[in-house]
């Protein structure tokens, strides 16, 4: 099995561990993680035009609109390190962003190769978020806030899986277990689809 470019999306509810697993999988396959939050922060820190727009919206307490979010991600995907693949985390998060990403990738004669879904029961996500809040001393992670975040995921993000499911690229992985166990399941699922780990991994 020879390595070839792999373009991935990792999806899961808050508390599913997708951020941690995303980094591990990106390292295993020799591709960059493109996290919406990280890209926003980098643009704001660098003072780019996109960054200034994002900062003014966030400072006003608003969500970054889909069009601007997509523009920021497109700018990141156009960088040289993403030519041979990438792992998206946090984008697309709704159906409108799926269309934006489709249009961009089609323009490059590319497409997503696999969508990794970390399946974690709601009660497990809630327990993990409570544990994280306690460890980090985050008093804002109340039951109401956690429930609201999970509802946004279920109502806005989960529907994109229906779109990708019809394309046959969804790989659902049991997200309950140790970090190594879950990472192993993801790698196995990708290798079963013909994607080889990076020789440097």
Nearest to 36 by CA among 6, 66, 80: 66
The one catalytic residue in 108, 131, 138, 193 is 138
Catalytic one of 7, 24, 93, 185: 93
Q: How far apart are CA 132 and CA 134, in angstroms?
A: 5
- The C-alpha atoms of residue 88 and residue 111 are separated, in whole angstroms, by 12
Strands (E), 113-194: 114-119, 170-174
**Secondary structure element (H or E) that encloses residue 44, with its range:** helix 36-46
Q: Are 22 and 89 in contact (CB under 8 A)?
A: yes
CA 185 to chain centre: 17
**Does the annotation count 108 as an active-site position?**
no
Task: For residue 34, list its beta bridge partners.
Answer: 88
122 is catalytic: no
Cβ-Cβ contacts under 8 Å for 161 (sequence gap 6 or more): 11, 115, 117, 170
- The single residue of 7, 18, 24, 128 carrying the catalytic annotation is 18
Q: Which of 4, 132, 167, 193 is catalytic?
A: 132
Strands 170-174, 33-35: pairing kind: unpaired
- Which candidate in 149, 167, 193, 197 is catalytic? 149
93 is catalytic: yes
Catalytic residues: 18, 93, 132, 138, 149
């Amino acid at each position: 099995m020879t390595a070839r470019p792999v373009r991935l999306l990792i999806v899961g509810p808050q508390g599913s561990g997708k951020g941690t697993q995303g980094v591990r999988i990106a390292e295993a396959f020799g591709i960059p993680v493109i996290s919406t939050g990280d890209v926003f922060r980098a643009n704001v820190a660098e003072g780019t035009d996109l960054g200034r727009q994002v900062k003014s919206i966030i400072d006003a307490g608003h969500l970054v609109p889909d069009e601007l979010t997509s523009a920021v991600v497109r700018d990141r995907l156009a960088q040289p390190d993403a030519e041979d693949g990438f792992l998206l985390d946090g984008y697309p998060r709704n159906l409108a962003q799926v269309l934006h990403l489709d249009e961009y990738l089609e323009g490059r004669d590319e497409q997503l190769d696999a969508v990794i879904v970390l399946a974690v029961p709601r009660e497990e996500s809630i327990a993990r978020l409570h544990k994280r809040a306690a460890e980090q001393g985050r008093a804002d992670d109340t039951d109401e806030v956690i429930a609201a975040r999970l509802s946004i995921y279920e109502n806005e993000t989960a529907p994109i899986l229906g779109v990708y499911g019809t394309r046959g690229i969804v790989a659902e992985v049991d997200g309950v277990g140790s970090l190594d166990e879950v990472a192993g399941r993801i790698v196995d699922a990708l290798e079963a689809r013909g994607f080889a780990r990076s020789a440097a991994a």
